[in-house]
Structure 1
Amino acid sequence: MSPRQPQLTREQFVQRFSLHRQHQALRPSHSRLKLSAVLIPVVERADGLSLILTQRANQLRHHAGQISFPGGRYEDGDQHLLNTALRETEEEIGLPREQVEVLGQLRDYPTRFNFLIRPFVALVTPQQPLRAQAGEVAEIFEVPLAAVLHQDNHYAYRIPLYIYDRVYFIPWQQRNIWGATAGILRELADHVQPEQRLNFRPLN
């Protein structure tokens, strides 16, 4: 971790998330895409803020084995995409909505698989061990928030793909965060630390 990128405290993270304006960009309309939502769960530990992530089960038909946020597709009974994120989070990792403090949301994130993901950023206070949903989630794990939000730790492969001009990869120990998860984390990093927006390591 770079010395010029100190680890944010809970108060600093909340302040930066709340005060900075989101970067605007032209994106596809909602009508052509299937709605979904994810939770970006941030938990305060003794050594700093951590991000809770999941690894999808290997037997899943789509995105098997990939690292993701808890979340999923909007259902009619949800009424609001926030309810989608909270419902899916409780189902996938056993975190009740009463232990989730939503700070706000990032821009809707369209994918090349015709989904529109709405990411909700939240501080969470688990009161019990988290529980992986059988058949859907292979593992629940945490990474230091500062490590995945530090733009110098982001790798970018430039490619004309859908509406994006690059794909991000964020390595952490033996894992590789990529795809929509890395893209959303990149947008959170740029939102919280806009002074570092241009930092990444090109792969081509």
Structure 2
Amino acid sequence: MTIRDDAFLSRLSSRLLQVPPVHAGELVPDWAPLTPYDRPPVEAAVMIALVERPEGLTVLYTERSPDLRAHSGQVAFPGGKVDKTDADVAAAALREANEEVGMRAEDVKILGYLPTYYTGTNYLITPVVALVSPSGPFVPNPGEVHSVFEVPLSRILERSTYGRFKISRQGKEHTTWQIDHDGHMIWGITANLTRKFRDLVMDEDAA
């Protein structure tokens, strides 16, 4: 499969949701806390950014600052909570990507959306998939991001890239997907969303 041409991007766009998903029905978290939440989930958005490079498309990741209280040092997509001032989840993802790595809105073309992802910590995440033609380097905001790196899309699409990561929470063990790339360990929500994106691109069910 050629992953740089317009035909690939057209196929990808046809498989994505073209409007932000509206979730209806019971939410099933990626892991179940001992005590269910009695409040609505926190709306959040992340950007799965396909970056145009001379060697082909890449996927952008950030390594969170070790000084953050939550998920410090972990690998993540640019993103965060949806603010009341955000027009929609795409606007939230664009705002967060600008705040975290200096991504310019005019460099971004929104391709579509993945279905929402509900976490065991009561976040309802909408993944926003975008094509990015950067007009300058991505610059980490030191208050939030320790570093920025990119993984070739060709590697993201390979099934052999993915392993399993075991986590113990509240006395229960569960697993997530895991990607080990160049010393960066991607696991948890970010790896799970990456795998969902990969399976959608390849038109395969998760195994």
TM-score per shorter chain, which class?
Answer: 0.7 to 0.9
**How much has 1:115 moved relative to structure 2?**
0.5
Consecutive unaligned residues in structure 2, runs of 5 or more: 18-24, 29-38
Structure 2 residue 16 is the aligned partner of structure 1 residue 16: no
Query: 2: CA distance between counterparts of 1:97 and 1:8?
Result: 23
Query: 2: CA distance between counterparts of 1:102 and 1:95?
Result: 13
Change (3 A) 1:160 1:27: farther
State the partner residue of 1:3.
none
Query: 1: CA distance between counterparts of 2:10 and 2:143?
Result: 38
State the partner residue of 2:185.
176
State the partner residue of 1:130.
138
**How much has 1:38 moved relative to structure 2?**
0.8
State whether residues 37 and 81 of structure 1, in contact with CA within 8 Å, keep that contact through their aligned partners in structure 2. yes
State whether residues 10 and 44 of structure 1, in contact with CA within 8 Å, keep that contact through their aligned partners in structure 2. no
Structure 2 residue 98 is the aligned partner of structure 1 residue 103: no
Query: 2: CA distance between counterparts of 1:45 and 1:67?
Result: 21
Larger helix proportion of the pair: 1
Q: Alignment RMSD, CA only? A: 2.6
Percent identity for Structure 1 against Structure 2: 36
Structure 2 residue 61 is the aligned partner of structure 1 residue 53: yes
- TM-score (structure 1 length as normaliser): 0.82
* Amino acid aligned to 2:196: E
State whether residues 132 and 140 of structure 1, in contact with CA within 8 Å, keep that contact through their aligned partners in structure 2. yes
Query: 2: CA distance between counterparts of 1:177 and 1:141?
Result: 11
State whether residues 7 and 146 of structure 1, in contact with CA within 8 Å, keep that contact through their aligned partners in structure 2. no
State whether residues 149 and 185 of structure 1, in contact with CA within 8 Å, keep that contact through their aligned partners in structure 2. no
- TM-score (structure 2 length as normaliser): 0.81
Q: 1:53-202 to 2 correspondence within 5 Å?
A: 53-157=61-165, 166-195=175-204, 197-198=205-206
* Amino acid aligned to 2:27: P
**Where does structure 1 differ by over 4 angstroms across 4 or more consecutive aligned residues?**
157-161
**How much has 1:118 moved relative to structure 2?**
0.5
Query: 2: CA distance between counterparts of 1:27 and 1:101?
Result: 32
**How much has 1:152 moved relative to structure 2?**
2.0
**How much has 1:12 moved relative to structure 2?**
4.0
- Give aligned pairs, total: 188
Task: Answer with 42-51 or 10-19: which moved more.
Answer: 10-19
SS of the residue 1:17 aligns to = helix
State the partner residue of 1:32.
40
| TM-superposition CA deviations, 1:149-185 (whole Å, max 9, x none) | 3222111358898xxx741111112111111110111
* Amino acid aligned to 1:185: T
* Amino acid aligned to 1:171: D
Task: Answer with 80-89 or 143-152: which moved more.
Answer: 143-152
Consecutive unaligned residues in structure 1, runs of 5 or more: 1-5, 200-204
SS of the residue 2:85 aligns to = helix
State whether residues 115 and 127 of structure 2, in contact with CA within 8 Å, keep that contact through their aligned partners in structure 1. yes
**How much has 1:7 moved relative to structure 2?**
5.2
State the partner residue of 2:22.
none
SS of the residue 1:18 aligns to = helix
State whether residues 10 and 49 of structure 1, in contact with CA within 8 Å, keep that contact through their aligned partners in structure 2. no
